[in-house]
Structure 1
C-alpha cells in the first residue's frame, strides 16, 4: 500500500522515502501542521500522529489497527511516542505496519514533543523507561503466573467440590458462591495480565491464551475487553475518549467540571446529588447486564465467531458441572449471586483508582501527567496485592502497562522520585480510604451538578 500523499498546503518536499508501494514524497512538518490533522478539523480530515519524530498518516489504517480503531484515533494530531512504546512489546514487528504510513518527519527546529508540553518530564520519563528495560523489569516470571493460574483452578474446583460433597444447605451454598466468585475475580486479574501482554515475552502467546481463557473460564470476549481497555489506558479519565466514562452521564455525574456542565445544560438523567447513595446498587447492578449483553453484541457485530463459540462453552461447562448436583433453580441462584459478588468486587477495585481523580476532556498533556492525574495507588500488603490483582499499583501499571504485575513494586520508588522532581502529585492511600473516596467524590461532583442545575 502506497503512503497517502501530502496535502497541497504541506511544506516543500525535502527527501524521498520508499514504502511498500514504491517511492513517495517525504517532507518536514511542524507540530502546528500535525495538530490540524485530528480528523475533526475541516478541510484537514486526515488522521496524523507522531512517533519518534516521524509523522504517520493513519487515515486509512486506523480501522485495521489490531489494537482497535479508536485507540489510535485518540492520538490523531498528537505525539504518540510514549503511548506507542508503552503498548507494544515487539517494536520490530509493528514497524512493518508503520513503514507504509510514513509521510515525513518533524522539521529540525521542532521540539521532540508538542511545545505546550513539559519537555523535561518527557525526557526524564524516557530515561526512566530505558532504565526499566535495562533492569529487565518488563520480563515476566512464568512461575509466578503459573501459580496465579493454579490457585484460580483450585478455587474453581473447590466451589464445585463444596456443593458436590456437602450439598446445597445454607452454609455450603454460600461457601460455594464465595469460592466461585473469588475464582472469577482472580480470573479477571489474570486475563488482565494476558491482555496487557505481561505473562509471556511473546505477544502472540499472550493473545492466544487470553482469547482461550477469557472465553472458556469467564464467558467473556477477549477482543471486546481489549477494544475498551486499551482506550482507557491511552486516555484515562478523558471524557469522550475513555470508554469507562461513556455510560456514566446516564447514571453518574463524574468530575466537578463535567458535572457542572451537565447541570448548566439542565440535564437530569438521574438525581445526581444522590448518586453517592445509589452507587452501591446501581453501579454493580448496571454493569452486570451491560457486560453480559455487550460481549455477545460485540462478538456478533464484529463476526468474532471463534470467540463466540468459546464463550458458549463456558456456560455449557458450568451448567454441566452444577445443574446435575443442585438442580436448575438452585444453580441459577448460585450462578447469578456469584456474578453479582464478582461485579461488586470488580467495580470497587477498578474505580477506587480513577473516580476520585481528575476527570476532564483530553487536553493533550505529556504521558506521565496524563496517567498521574487520572490514577492513584493503594498501600502495598500481601492481601491488597492479591485482592486487587496488584492494581493497587495503578500508577506504575498505567505508566508501564506491559510490565508484569510482580515487578510493579520495584519500579514504584523510581516513579516517586520522578514525580517529586517535577512536582507531580503521587497519591497512595489505604484500601478502605480508597473505597471511601469513591463515595466522597461522587457526593462532591453530585453537589456540583445540583448547584449548577439549580442556579444556572
Structure 2
C-alpha cells in the first residue's frame, strides 16, 4: 500500500516507469524522473536555461545523474523545479530503470560524493588566470611579429601560427566557462564566457551551449548528439548505423572512401567553410543581441590592430588562414575521443556506461594537456563536466578503479594513435556500409 499523505496535504500522485516512458515524444507530454520524483517538463523545455533539446533528450527517462552532472547549484535549481513536480514513482517501482546497472550507478554516485568531499570540484583561480594570460601574450606576440619584422611571407605565416594557437586555446578556455567549471557562480561563468567566446573568438555563446550540452547529455547518440549531424549526409559513422544505411540502400556519398575525403571536408573545412557563416546566421535568427554585441568587438579589434599593418585584403587573408589552421587543430582533437568509439541510437544506459562507451582518453603529458586543452581526459570530463580541468588527472585513477571493478572498458591512447584511429574507424565503417549496400 502507498503511504498516506500528512493531514492537510494532498495525496501524492504515483506513477510507474512505463507511464513515464510513454511521455517522451515531441508532440505529447514530456516527463522525466529526478531522484524518484516525476516532473512534467512539457512547457518548461522552452524556458530551460540549458536549451530545450538537452532536457528533452531525457524525456521519458531517469535524469538523476545528468541533473547532478550539469548543475553546480543543485539546491537553487530544485527550488525552481517544485512547480514542475507532478508526483513520484510508486513505492513498488524500483529506483532504477530495468536497463540500467544498479550497482554501477550506486558506486558512481558514491564516487561523485567522495570527489566533492575531496574538493576536486573546486577551482584554482590562479590556473585559469595564468591560462588567460598566456593567451593574451600569444596574441600580443602575433601582432608584434608583424610590427617588428614586417609583413613578408615568413613573419606573416608566423603571425598566423601564433593567432591559430590563440584561437584554439581560447576555444579550450571558453569551454571551461561554458561548463561553469571556473567560477563559483553561474553568473560569473556566463559573463566571462561572453568575453572569451565573443570578444576573443568572435562566436556566440548561445550557439555553443545549444550544441555542446546536447553532446554531453547523450554522447554519440544519433538524433540526440548534434556532433553526429554529418551522418549520413557526408559520413557513415559507427558500425551499427553504417550497416543500417547499407541495408537501406542509402548512398549520399561514397562512404567507402570517406577516410580519404575526410582530409578535404573534415579538418580543413569545418570552421572556415561552415561554422564561420553558420554562427552569424544562428545569432541573428535567434535574436541573440548580446552575443552579437560581444562578437562585434572581436571584429572591431581585429580591424584596428591589423588593417594598419596589412590592409583590408591582407587581414581577410590572414583571418581565413588562421581559421583554416584552427579548424585542423580543433577537429582532430575534438573527434579523436569520439568517432572511434561506439555510435548508435540512444540505449538509455546508466550515466557511466553511456559516457564510457562514447569516449576515450589520450595519455597525459605536458604537451598533450596543453595541445588538447586537457580534453585528453575526455572520460573524466564527460563524467564530471563541471569539474575544473586541472583536477582531471587526480580523479582519473578513481574512475579507472571503478571501471576495472565492474568490467567497463577504460581506454587511453597515445596522441597520434588517437588521430590515426579516426581514419581507421572511418575506413572500417565505410567498408561495413559498402558490404551491407552490395550484399544485403
Q: TM-score, normalised by structure 1?
A: 0.93
5 Å-filtered alignment, 1:23-62, equals 26-39=12-25, 45-62=28-45
Alpha carbons 1:12, 1:27 under 8 Å: kept: no
Aligned partner of 2:129 in structure 1 is: 146
Give structure 1 stretches of 5+ with no counterpart.
1-10
1:174 lines up with 2:179 in the alignment: no
1:115 lines up with 2:98 in the alignment: yes
Taking the aligned partners of 2:7 and 2:423, their CA distance within structure 1 comes to: 55
Post-superposition shift, 1:284?
2.5
1:449 lines up with 2:433 in the alignment: yes
5 Å-filtered alignment, 1:348-387, equals 348-387=332-371
Greater CA drift, 131-140 or 90-99: 90-99
Post-superposition shift, 1:13?
10
- SS across alignment from 1:251: coil
Taking the aligned partners of 1:313 and 1:439, their CA distance within structure 2 comes to: 38
**CA deviation profile, 1:162-218 (whole Å, cap 9, x unmatched):** 011111112111110110000101001000000000111111100111012211110
Which residue of 294, 300, 308 corresponds with 1:310?
Answer: 294
Aligned partner of 1:391 in structure 2 is: 375
Which residue of 193, 215, 219 corresponds with 2:202?
Answer: 219
1:266 lines up with 2:224 in the alignment: no
Alpha carbons 1:211, 1:307 under 8 Å: kept: yes
Post-superposition shift, 1:323?
1.2
Taking the aligned partners of 1:136 and 1:272, their CA distance within structure 2 comes to: 47
1:183 lines up with 2:144 in the alignment: no
Cα distance change on mapping 1:143 and 1:37 into 2, 3 Å: same
1:415 lines up with 2:399 in the alignment: yes
Taking the aligned partners of 2:62 and 2:279, their CA distance within structure 1 comes to: 32
Instruction: Give the alignment's Cα RMSD to 1 decimal.
Output: 1.7
Aligned partner of 2:69 in structure 1 is: 86
1:228 lines up with 2:211 in the alignment: yes
Aligned partner of 2:220 in structure 1 is: 237
Taking the aligned partners of 1:439 and 1:39, their CA distance within structure 2 comes to: 36
Taking the aligned partners of 1:104 and 1:133, their CA distance within structure 2 comes to: 29
Aligned partner of 2:83 in structure 1 is: 100
Cα distance change on mapping 1:271 and 1:126 into 2, 3 Å: same
Taking the aligned partners of 2:412 and 2:385, their CA distance within structure 1 comes to: 19
Which residue of 288, 292, 310 corresponds with 1:326?
Answer: 310
**CA deviation profile, 1:246-272 (whole Å, cap 9, x unmatched):** 123111110011111112222211111
Cα distance change on mapping 1:14 and 1:34 into 2, 3 Å: farther
Alpha carbons 1:15, 1:27 under 8 Å: kept: no
Cα distance change on mapping 1:25 and 1:101 into 2, 3 Å: farther
Alpha carbons 2:173, 2:196 under 8 Å: kept: no
